[in-house]
Structure 1
C-alpha cells in the first residue's frame, strides 16, 4: 500500500483521528499520545504492510515504520490536522509517573532533533577541517560556520520553548517570548560579568542573574507552568477580551515566577545531573561504561534514553562535552551493527539476509531500530551479542573518559565530534567503536542460535512419520489445518510483510472452502472490525494469526462473519469465521491466507509439516510443528 493508505489504516486502527491527542515522529517511529489506549487494535496495526512493529512505551503508542517514517507522518498529520482539541489533548491522570516524564521529554526533543543533529554534525566536520589544516580557526569563514553550528545550541531555549508549547498545549508565541525573557541580553550580561548576583523585582521578589543559554530544564519547567497559568487566565477573562488580557496576564504572572524560582531550580537540577554523571564516571568509569554500554539497547527500546537528555545538554552547555549518553549510545549502536552483520554472514535464509542487509547500513549511521526489531531482537541471541559488544566498548570509553563535543546521531558520522587537539580522545573513540563492532560480530558468529532458516524440502521428506510424532509428543505443539485448501510456503506470499517473516513463521493456504476452524484448543485473543482476521492463543502458548486473503481489509467486513468474539474459549474444530471467496476474487484481491505463529521468537523453530502444493482438510491434517 502507498503511504496515504498506510496512514489511513494506522489512524483507523487507532480508533480514528478523534482518539489521537498528539502525533510526531523520530527517525524510524511514528509516536502518538491517545485519549483511550483500549481503542487501539495493536495486532491489526502490526499486520499492516509497511509497519515493522507497534508498541506502547513510555506513555506513548509507537508505530515502527523505518526509513519511510517522515513520508508516512506527513500523511498522518494531514489526516489528524485540526482534529485535536485542547480538551481532548489534556494528559491523562492515570499511568506510571516515569512513563509520563519520558513521554514529555521525548515529545519535546524529538521534533527538534533535526536542528540539533544537523548543527552537531557541522561542528564535527569543522573539527576535521581544522585538524587537517584545511580551515583556519581564526578566519572569517570559520567564524560564519561557527555561528551556523553554534546558533542552535546557544538559542536552544527558543527551540525547546516552541516544542514544549506543542507538548503542553499552550501558546507557542508566548513560550517563545518566555525563552526571550530568559535570554534577554541585559540579564545575560549581568550574569556573565558576575558583579551582580541578583536584582529585586517589585521590592520583594529576588531574581538571580543566570545565563540560560543552551539550557533546557529552565524553559521546559517554565512552559509547563505557563500552560496552567494560561488555562486559568482563559477561565477568568471574558471571551471578548481574551486576545488582549490572557497573553498579558500569562506573561506578567509566569515570567517573574520563572525568573525567580523555576529557572534557577532548572539550572540547579541540570547542574547536579551533570555533576552526578561526571562523578559516577570519575569513580567507576569502566564499570559504569560497561553497564551503560551493555544496557543501552534496552534503554533505547524502552525510550528511557530521553531521560538523559537534560543531563546531556547541561554537560554540553557547562563543560562543553558529554561522556555518557552520546558516547555510550555510539558504541552500543556499532555493536548492534556488528551483530546484524554476523546474522547476515551466518544465516542461509534469503529473507533474513535481505532484512539484515537493509538494517545493517542504517545501523552504521546510528539508526538501529530496523536492526533491533527486524533482526537481533527477533533472533534473541544476536541481541545479547550486541549487548556484550556495547559493554566492551563502554568499558573502554569509561576507562579513558571518551568525550564528544557536540550532539550528533550516534553513528560513524558522529566520530568527528570526538576530535580534541592535543589528546588521544579521538583515537580511543575509534578503538571503542571498533571493539564494540568486532565483539558484536564475533559473538554472533560463534553463538549457536536459530538463524531463521526454513527446513529444506529434502529434510522434510527424509523425516519419518515416527520421527515427527516423537518430536511432537516430546517437545512440540500441533497446529491443525484451520482451512481446507492448498498449502503454500510463506516465502511465496505476495505480501512482503508476511513473506519476509517479520510477523512470524508459518505458511499460506489457498482456501477451497469458506470457513475457518480452530486449529487447537485455546482462546480468541484478537478480532478486527472488518472481520478478515482472527488471533488465537493455544493452551500451551502458541499465538496464531489467521489472515483471510490479502488486503481484504478493503472489503470492510463484506462477506465475512464471526462466530466467536475476543475472550471466547474454543476447542479444536470450532467454527471461527466464514468468508465469501467469490466476493474476495471479484474485488480483485488475493485469496492467499497466511497462517502465522506470531510469537515465533519464543520457540526454537516453527516447521511446515506439509509440502508446497499439497491439499489439506480443515481439522484433519497437521500443518505446523512448533518446536519448544
Structure 2
C-alpha cells in the first residue's frame, strides 16, 4: 500500500485521531502518546504491509517502519493536522517516573536529530579532510564549514527549547525566548571572562554560567514554563491573555531559571559526565563489554535516550564522548556482521532477501530492520551480535576510544574518531572491525535454521513451515513482471503482489498443498489458500471472462483439498489468442498485506515449468 494508505490504516487501528495525544518519529519508528492504549489493534497493525513491528514501550506506542518512516509520518501529520487534543485521557497509560523520563527525552530529541546528525557528520568529514591534508584548518573555507557544523551544537538550547515546548504543550516562541535568555551575550561574556561571577536581581543571585551546548537547563526551564503559562492563562481574563500571559510567563520563569534551575541543570549534567568518565576510567574493558553487548537491548527498550543529556554534556564540556556513541557504533556494526552471516549461511531465499535489504542500513547505523527482521527472528544471530558488540566494546573501553561529534553510529561516523597526534582512530578502527568480524563469524558457528528443508520430488509439501510456504509455478511458460500486465488493476498491485506468466501449455496446477477457496462460472480464474495461510489467485489470460467458459475446463470445486501439482483446470490457449485476448496470466498473493513483503523468486523472462520451480517468496 502507499504511504498515505498506510497512514490511514495506522490511524484507524490506533483508535482514530481522537486517541492520539502526540506523535513524532525517530530514524525508523513512529512514536505515539495515546489517550487509551487499550483500544489499539496491535496484532492488526503488525500485519500491515510496510510495518516491521509494533510495541508499547516506555509509555509510548512505537511502530517500526524502517526507511519510509519520515514519509509515513508526513502523511500521518497531514491527516491529524490541527485535530490533536489532550482532553479525554480516561484510559491514558500510566507511566512510572523512569518511563516518564524516557518518554520526555525521546520526545524532545528525536524531532531534532536530523540537525544534530547532519552537523555531526559534517564535523567528521572535516576532520577526515584535514587528516589527509585535503583541507587546511587555517583556511577561510574551514572557518565557514566550522561555523556550519558547530552552530547546531553551540545553539543546541534553541533546538531543544522548541522541541521541548511541543512535548510539554507550551508556547514554543516563549520557550525559544528562554533559550535566548540563557545564551544572552552579557551572561555568556561574563561567564567566559570570569571577572563577574554573578549578578543581583531583586535580591536574587544569578550565577554567570555558559549554557552553550547544554540540554538539561533548558529542558527544566521549559517544563517550568509549561506550568507557569498554564496557571497564568487561568488567572488572566481571556480578553487579555495575548498580552499578559506571555509577560507573566517570562517574568516568573526567566529569573527562576537563571538563578536556580539552570545552575542545577548544569550540575546534574556535570555529574552525569563525571560518572560515565569515571566508569570507563576505572573499569574500561568491563564497562565497555557490558555496554557494547547490551546496547541492542537498550536500544530496543528505548533506554538509550536516557544517555543523551550526559552525552551532550560530555561533548560540550570535554569535546568528546566515550560512552553512548562509541558503544552504539560497535553494537551496530556487530549487528551488521551478524546479518551478513545470515546472508552467507541461510538457504532460505525469503530470509536471504530480507537480510540483504537489512544489511546496508545496518552498516550505516540503522539496525532496526536487521534486529526485527533477521537476527531476533532467528535468535542465535542476535546472540552473535551481542557477542560482537561486547568484544568491540571491551576494545573501546580498554583504550578509552573517543568520538568528537554526535552523528549516526555507522561506518560514516568513523571520521568523527580522528584526533591528530593520537592513536584514537586506529583503536576505533580495530574495535569496529572486531565487532563486525565477531558478529559475522559467531553467526556462522552458532548455527540457526538455514531453511535447507527440501521438498519431495512429487512436490508434496513437507510438515515444516518452510516447505508449506513454498509457492510453485501453476503454469508452464515465460515469467513476466506484474507491472507489465495489460490490466491496470493487476499491474498496480491492487489485487496483490505477484508475477505474470505467458503460458505455453494449457494447464494450471496447484502451487502448494491447500484448499480451493474460489471458482468462477467461466472457469478462467481460481483461488486457493495454502496450509500456511497464503492466498493465491490464478487468473488465466486478460479479459478471458468474455469467453463465458469457452475453451476452459475446471477439474476442482470450491472447498476441495488439493496437493501441489494437482491439475486445477485446462484451457485452449490457441482459442484465447484467436479471440484476440492476451495470454498474460497474473499469479498474485491476494492477502499481501498480511506479510512483510512478497518478492519474485525468479527473474523476468525466465522459463518455468508448472509444479517445478518456486516463483514467489512470501516474507513473514
CA–CA distance in structure 2, aligned partners of residues 102 and 548 of structure 1? 42
CA–CA distance in structure 2, aligned partners of residues 315 and 156 of structure 1? 14
Name 1:135's counterpart in structure 2. 135
> Structure 2: which 5+ runs fail to align?
475-492, 499-511, 520-530, 538-585, 597-609, 612-620
Name 1:212's counterpart in structure 2. 211
1:462–1:147 distance in 2 versus 1, CA, 3 Å = closer
Name 2:601's counterpart in structure 1. none
Question: Is 2:275 aligned against 1:269?
Answer: no
Question: Is 2:175 aligned against 1:175?
Answer: yes
What's the offset of the Cα at 1:457?
A: 3.5
What's the offset of the Cα at 1:95?
A: 2.0
Question: Is 2:77 aligned against 1:77?
Answer: yes
Name 1:402's counterpart in structure 2. 401
Q: Deviations over 1:566-592 (max 9, x none)?
A: xxxxxxxxxxxxxxxxxxxxxx99895
CA–CA distance in structure 2, aligned partners of residues 213 and 362 of structure 1? 33
Counterpart secondary structure, 1:192: helix
CA–CA distance in structure 1, aligned partners of residues 350 and 223 of structure 2? 48
The correspondence of residues 224-373 of structure 1 with structure 2, limited to 5 A, is 224-373=223-372
CA–CA distance in structure 2, aligned partners of residues 208 and 412 of structure 1? 42
Name 1:443's counterpart in structure 2. 442
Counterpart secondary structure, 2:369: helix
Q: Deviations over 1:475-533 (max 9, x none)?
A: x99xxxxxxxxx9746899999999xxxxxx98754259xxxxxxxxxxxxxxxxxxxx
Kept in 1: contact 2:37–2:91 (CA 8 A): no
Kept in 1: contact 2:37–2:93 (CA 8 A): no
CA–CA distance in structure 2, aligned partners of residues 90 and 194 of structure 1? 52
1:225–1:69 distance in 2 versus 1, CA, 3 Å = same
Length-normalised TM-score, structure 1: 0.76
Counterpart secondary structure, 2:283: helix
1:509–1:43 distance in 2 versus 1, CA, 3 Å = farther
Kept in 1: contact 2:34–2:93 (CA 8 A): no
Counterpart secondary structure, 1:450: coil
Kept in 1: contact 2:36–2:89 (CA 8 A): no
1:338–1:496 distance in 2 versus 1, CA, 3 Å = farther
Q: Deviations over 1:572-613 (max 9, x none)?
A: xxxxxxxxxxxxxxxx99895699999xxxxxxxxxxxxx99
Name 2:159's counterpart in structure 1. 159
> Structure 1: which 5+ runs fail to align?
469-475, 478-486, 500-505, 514-543, 551-587, 599-611, 614-628
CA–CA distance in structure 2, aligned partners of residues 13 and 548 of structure 1? 23
CA–CA distance in structure 1, aligned partners of residues 202 and 472 of structure 2? 75
CA–CA distance in structure 2, aligned partners of residues 267 and 208 of structure 1? 11
Kept in 1: contact 2:326–2:402 (CA 8 A): yes
Length-normalised TM-score, structure 2: 0.77
Q: Deviations over 1:341-391 (max 9, x none)?
A: 000000011111110000000000000000000000010100000000000
Name 1:605's counterpart in structure 2. none
Counterpart secondary structure, 2:21: strand
Counterpart secondary structure, 1:404: coil
Name 1:16's counterpart in structure 2. 16
Kept in 1: contact 2:337–2:437 (CA 8 A): yes
CA–CA distance in structure 2, aligned partners of residues 496 and 429 of structure 1? 50
CA–CA distance in structure 2, aligned partners of residues 224 and 492 of structure 1? 62
Name 2:517's counterpart in structure 1. 511
1:348–1:259 distance in 2 versus 1, CA, 3 Å = same
What's the offset of the Cα at 1:451?
A: 2.7
CA–CA distance in structure 2, aligned partners of residues 510 and 360 of structure 1? 38
Counterpart secondary structure, 1:124: helix
Counterpart secondary structure, 2:189: helix
What's the offset of the Cα at 1:156?
A: 0.1
1:460–1:273 distance in 2 versus 1, CA, 3 Å = farther
What's the offset of the Cα at 1:547?
A: 8.9
Q: Deviations over 1:223-260 (max 9, x none)?
A: 01100110111111100000000000000110111111
CA–CA distance in structure 2, aligned partners of residues 546 and 92 of structure 1? 36
What's the offset of the Cα at 1:196?
A: 2.0
Counterpart secondary structure, 1:32: strand
Kept in 2: contact 1:419–1:426 (CA 8 A): yes
Counterpart secondary structure, 2:63: strand
Counterpart secondary structure, 1:106: helix
CA–CA distance in structure 1, aligned partners of residues 209 and 446 of structure 2? 54
What's the offset of the Cα at 1:455?
A: 4.5
Kept in 1: contact 2:217–2:263 (CA 8 A): yes
Q: Deviations over 1:115-161 (max 9, x none)?
A: 00100011011101111111111121111110000000000000000
Name 1:59's counterpart in structure 2. 59
